[in-house]
Amino acid sequence: MIARALRTIVILAAGVLSSGPFTALAEENVDSTALARALADPLATLRDGVKASEIAGIPISAKFEIEDGKLQLSVYTVNAGEFVEVIADPKTRAAIKTEKITESDDLYEPPKGSEAENPSAQVAAIGKASVKLVAAADMAEKANAGFRVVGIEPELEGGHPVAIVTLLQGTSLKKVVQKLD
């Protein structure tokens, strides 16, 4: 039943979002020092934010970010072909704001000097995945002792769903690929 719903979402999202690509981890120029400082206190995990976002739909990507000088956890979800950004409070672990994404500028934030993912490709990756984003984040964290997951973004690689997981240890960021099938 979930696979059927996801296939429907993929078809709807491809039509709704054909105007431009989307990436939740668009910020390649992340200030790892500021992020590490903001995450120094025991706060919510990416897992917490993804779980909290499920009220708005199927989570398709997530990231910690500094917005207006404050740490926030931003999770993008899809539900019936519509995208919603869920902002979770890193201290309370609760979804504090949901916002339907309708403007193409909000859906398309390509990182400087690189190609951004197409939103329908991200939804297609989630639709083919047998592993949830939360589980992929957990696996990446376990395989990289001492690192904390600060972002996750699905894509198709050779027709197979994978998650690009961004990890932080101290002020060092690294990205790893975690299989979703």
40 assigned to some structural domain? yes
Output DSSP code: residue 117: P
For residue 16, pLDDT beyond 60: no
167 assigned to some structural domain? no
76 to 41, 90, 112, 159, 179: CA distances (angstroms) = 24, 16, 21, 22, 20
> Which domain does 13 fall in, by range?
2-127
pTM (predicted TM-score): 0.76
The pairing of strands 95-101 and 70-79 is unpaired
27 assigned to some structural domain? yes
42 assigned to some structural domain? yes
Give the separation between CA 115 and CA 67, rounded to whole angstroms.
Answer: 23
Each residue of 147-181: pLDDT tens digit?
A: 999 999 999 999 999 999 999 999 999 999 999 99
Q: What is the pLDDT of residue 140?
A: 97
Q: What is the pLDDT of residue 138?
A: 95
Q: What is the pLDDT of residue 91?
A: 84
135 assigned to some structural domain? no
79 assigned to some structural domain? yes
CATH of residue 75:
3.10.450.40
Nearest to 152 by CA among 66, 44, 76: 76
Each residue of 59-81: pLDDT tens digit?
A: 999 999 988 888 999 999 999 88
Number of domains in the chain: 1
